[in-house]
Chain A
Amino acid sequence: MTQGLYEIIKNDALTSTVYKMVIKGDTSAITAPGQFVNLKLEGKFLRRPISICDYDDTSITLVYKVVGEGTEQMAEMKAGEVIDVLVGLGNGYSLDKCGEKPLFIGGGVGIPPLYNLCKKLIKAGKTCTVILGFNNADEIFLEDDFKALGANVIVTTVDGSYGTKGFVTDAMKDINYTYFFTCGPMPMFKAIESTAVTSGQYSFEERMGCGFGACMGCSCKTKYGNKRICKDGPVLEREEIIW
């Protein structure tokens, strides 16, 4: 974990509620895709944990949804502003168990942390299939980005206004995969848990205090003992999760 001041390079709307912020600075503390950063916002006491969508040697891309006062404030920030960030938090996804045909399942704002993971596994020569679940066509983001990586992308919408009508699990049934990675809302996780035919990794969300393992604010019970979502997670393996 490192703390630093990061300059906002851009902060653009991708949909009416989802934004893409790129910040510039040291990324050496990031050790795996699926990790997150914790942002200090003016006038807010606690930091805001936001998953890392993508990163390179000098920049971090955050794709976030406006859901409350903190993210509203983030959406107002402009290029050139400087933000205090803790970088390299959480365990992230582990890449070594996924076989040749990993499946990525993202629901809504759970999609971003899968992006850099998919990028890395495509680079490693894997055949990647990505299911992106939304409520409707207006909510869609990152579809073209995943396609540009070379992934086979399937979009599902609950109302059928784009792609496959239904839930991500409706699309899962027809796919041949060796492993899965997912991030999204709890109802989606439960549906995946009853549909998935392989091992996999789930990335969880929880209300956090510190984000780096000190306060025990985000603890959960697993088959391997108590874990902190912020430090021992947010990614848990399918085999250890107690539903």
Chain B
Amino acid sequence: MVNTKINLCGIEIDNPVIPASGTFGFGYEFAEIYDINCLGTFSFKGTTKDPRFGNPTPRIAECDSGMINAVGLQNPGVEKVISDELPKLKACFNKPVMANVSGFSVEDYAYTVEQLDSQDQIGWFEVNVSCPNVHGGGMSFGTSPEAAAEVTAAVRNVTDKPLFIKLSPNVTDIVAIAKACEAAGADGISMINTMLGMRIDLKTRRPVIANKMGGFSGPAIKPVALRMVYQVYEAVKIPIIGMGGIATAKDVIEMMLAGATAVQVGAQNLVDPFACRDIINDLPSVMKKYGIDDLTSIIGGAH
């Protein structure tokens, strides 16, 4: 028997496979097609202080080995998340969930986290300082160590739950930002968010996406994600949740070797709704194939 269990900031999870925020809703859509209790946990849809419709459509463009999205943080707002979404989730998921939070000011972030903090279902916070889709929003916090640290400190102040900061790859020095978050009290780093990208329609000669630019994700960005996780692993002592192009059990192992304690699956959920279940089912045999008895033992193994 191989051991897929992982300790993520004091909470043991059955396996390190976590659907990424924005690709799994609040879980219940997927619970209609399989028992999502097989997941390590999942990161719910990015939640903001106020309800948001998001960007105009089209919001999606296909790319070779990936996709671009510019959804723009559509969500019902923290009040409705607590009153409507979390009870629905509770009915189909009996493990702690990761609360993904976004904001447009330091006060927004602190307010939303404070509201969610009393919810017992929530095991961890994942604070998105990197969403590239909102004008003048999240992007600015994630591109400067000072601003990222300011958000981290403000959120740290209102919760004792494990706090991950989700970083943008659209920066010159992600290591400096990760270190700033660690110093400001983060318990972990989530990385990487999507990379800024664009597609252009040859017939209309205009960007495909109404917002012009969007976040590029999918297997194409995996090498960038691996490189950044590898670099940050050498610079911080807190755990990393690695993501970017994860689609198979082999990808999970590769990301953990780079330095990730757990792994998120994003775009792959959208093309294969059973992706996470299948990755979890495949993990033990792939671990055996590569001589791995205990997943924890391989974290950072490539260093």
Q: Which residues of A contact B (CB under 8 A)?
A: 1-3, 40, 44-47, 86, 206-210, 212-221, 226, 231
Contact = CB atoms under 8 A, between A and B. Distances in A.
Nearest to A86: B273
A40 B57 contact: no
B145 interface: no
B29 A216 contact: no
Secondary structure at the B interface, as helix, strand, loop or mixed, is loop
A175 B289 CA distance: 69
Interface in B40-69: 45, 53-54, 57-67, 69
A3 B269 CA distance: 13
B60 A215 contact: yes
B81 to A, nearest CB: 14
Question: What's the interface size class on B, roughly?
Answer: 35 or more
A49 to B, nearest CB: 11
Contacts of A208: 60
A46 B74 contact: no
Given A215-B69, A217-B59, A210 B53 contact: no
A226 B60 contact: no
Contact of B270 (A44, A214, A221, A226): A214
Contacts of B270: 46, 209-210, 214-215
B33 A209 contact: no
A219 B29 contact: no
Interface string B16-28: 0000001111000
A220 B69 CA distance: 16
A215 to B, nearest CB: 5
Contacts, number: 89
A207 B57 contact: yes
A226 B52 CA distance: 10
Contact of B33 (A1, A47, A207, A226): A1
B59 A218 contact: yes
B57 A220 contact: yes
B53 A219 contact: yes
A148 B274 CA distance: 40
Interface of B: 22-25, 29-30, 32-33, 45, 53-54, 57-67, 69, 71, 74, 208, 218-219, 267, 269-274
Contact of B271 (A1, A45, A216, A220): A45
B97 to A, nearest CB: 16
B271 A215 contact: no
B26 to A, nearest CB: 10
Given A1-B273, A44-B62, A216-B59, 13 more contacts: A3-B274, A46-B60, A46-B270, A47-B271, A207-B59, A207-B61, A207-B208, A209-B69, A214-B23, A214-B273, A217-B57, A217-B69, A218-B60
Nearest to B71: A216
Nearest to A231: B29
Given A3-B273, A208-B60, A215-B60, A45 B67 contact: yes
A221 B61 CA distance: 21
B29 A212 contact: yes
Nearest to A46: B62
Contacts of B45: 216
Contacts of A86: 273
27 contacts: A1-B33, A3-B273, A44-B62, A45-B64, A46-B270, A86-B273, A207-B58, A209-B270, A210-B271, A212-B29, A213-B25, A214-B25, A214-B270, A215-B22, A215-B23, A215-B71, A216-B45, A216-B54, A217-B71, A218-B57, A219-B57, A219-B59, A219-B71, A219-B74, A226-B53, A226-B74, A231-B29
A214 B74 contact: no
Contacts of B54: 216, 219
